[in-house]
Structure 1
């Protein structure tokens, strides 16, 4: 993993075409583009300068990448957000894709759900990335259980 990418908060290379992380800086977005990623999916919000960039869409697009923003409220994830994430994953499945939020918590939970629901993985394997980063709180545990039950 290149050092400039490894320095991104909670960066994880999932496979040769998928990486996840917390919020990258403008400079780190440049490194993501230079590494050949074609799409950035952001599950974070744009309303807190501690965890967002002033114009992430503009930066990503100026670097020649596509930008998908699905703002997921950390304290109240919704199945509509998850459905939008599933759609984005399917739409960009053949591209090198970087997925991030503020700390790779929302992303790792959504990716685990995607792997179970869309890819048929068993839950233990699907959520290894998430459990390597964090243990979901009550809100996220309930959300994950609800989605897995349907």
Structure 2
């Protein structure tokens, strides 16, 4: 019998047999990820965030998983961050878990990646919006993320009721 997905992890999503995503992980979560077959973990937030797993590389290694850290500042996503993410995601065909603090960075990056893989935009957007929508969020940096993933500012303003 295989272990169940740790759906109690913040904003947990299983996107496919190979890819899962979430927000912040707890200290017991590396072992739980390994138990469901995860072989690699990609972390997209800052290592010094209060909710980051302490010594995450060691924690993932202890659970038998490879670890990649791509620090993406919440207020300043850059194309180089996305390129590094895409390379890490595509580097192997093994089960991978991608996370940040709220799963918002991940959702935005996966939105772009899904479209690059040929997924229709409405489907990619629906997946992203299961976690977060930068076009409707009141979060102060949401507009930066909307622009970063190719949603035009006018659309963002219109969805927020601005003129």
TM-score, length-scaled by structure 2: 0.83
Contact kept? 1:108, 1:127, Cα under 8 Å? no
Aligned to 1:95: 94
Q: 1:135 aligns with which of 133, 136, 142?
A: 133
- Tell me how large the CA RMSD over aligned residues is: 1.4
Q: Which runs of 4+ in 1 moved over 3 A?
A: none
Relative contact order, CA 8 A, sep 6+: which one is greater? Answer: 1
Q: Is the 8 A contact 2:107 2:128 kept in 1?
A: yes
Single out whichever of 120-129 and 69-78 deviates more from structure 2: 120-129
- Consecutive unaligned residues of structure 2, counting only runs of 5 or more, are 135-141, 152-163
- Deviation string 1:44-99 (CA, Å, 9 cap, x unpaired) is 111122x202201100011110001111111110000000011011102x111111
Q: How does 1:29-40 map to 2 (within 5 A)?
A: 29-40=30-41
The answer to whether the 8 A contact 2:10-2:23 is kept is yes
Unaligned runs of 5+ in 1: none
Q: 1:20-59, aligned counterparts within 5 Å?
A: 20-49=21-50, 51-59=51-59
Equivalent pairs counted in the alignment come to: 142
Counterparts of 1:2-21 in structure 2, within 5 Å, are: 2=4, 5-21=6-22
Q: Highest Rg: 1 or 2?
A: 2
